[in-house]
Amino acid sequence: MIDEKKEDVFRTWDQFMLLLETTKLISFNNPILVEIELIQSEKKKRWEQFYERKTWEPVLDSITSERANEIHIELLLKWEELVIHSFLYLQEARKRGGTIGHKVGPIWSFQKEQKLKYAELLLKMKSNTV
């Protein structure tokens, strides 16, 4: 069960990174998006190694974006999904006891804090592109 939660987190993170890259490109490398991408990719690489991620799914096959013209909103929704999956992963880790919760907690807290930090800026960018 906990391995499924871990894979949910990383699969959602893959999707989030693809949406982030797409948003960055259509926003002409907006500095805020470049900053978010840099922070996220560094953390993702580090945690994939730390958690010994073993499987990768084709990201494009798993995203169905009906709101291509609202990619900033799609990005925020995917980010929220990532926060939720990492929270569920943390709860599963806590049930197991031991120190695994201390390893999983930083993923959830990082994503939650980063989303809160950038959400308003992304929504402002969206309103400027309409």
- Beta strands of the chain (E only): which ranges? none
Tell me how many domains the chain contains.
1
Over range 27-48, report the average pLDDT.
94
Residue pair 19/68 in contact (Cβ under 8 Å)? The answer is: no
pLDDT at residue 14 in the model: 93
pLDDT at 12 exceeding the cut of 70: yes
Round to whole Å and give the CA distance between 8 and 14.
10
pLDDT at 39 exceeding the cut of 90: yes
- pLDDT, tens digit, for every residue of 51-104? 887 776 766 565 555 555 578 888 999 999 999 999 999 999 999 888 888 888
What is the percent of the chain with per-residue pLDDT over 70, rounded to a whole number? Answer: 85
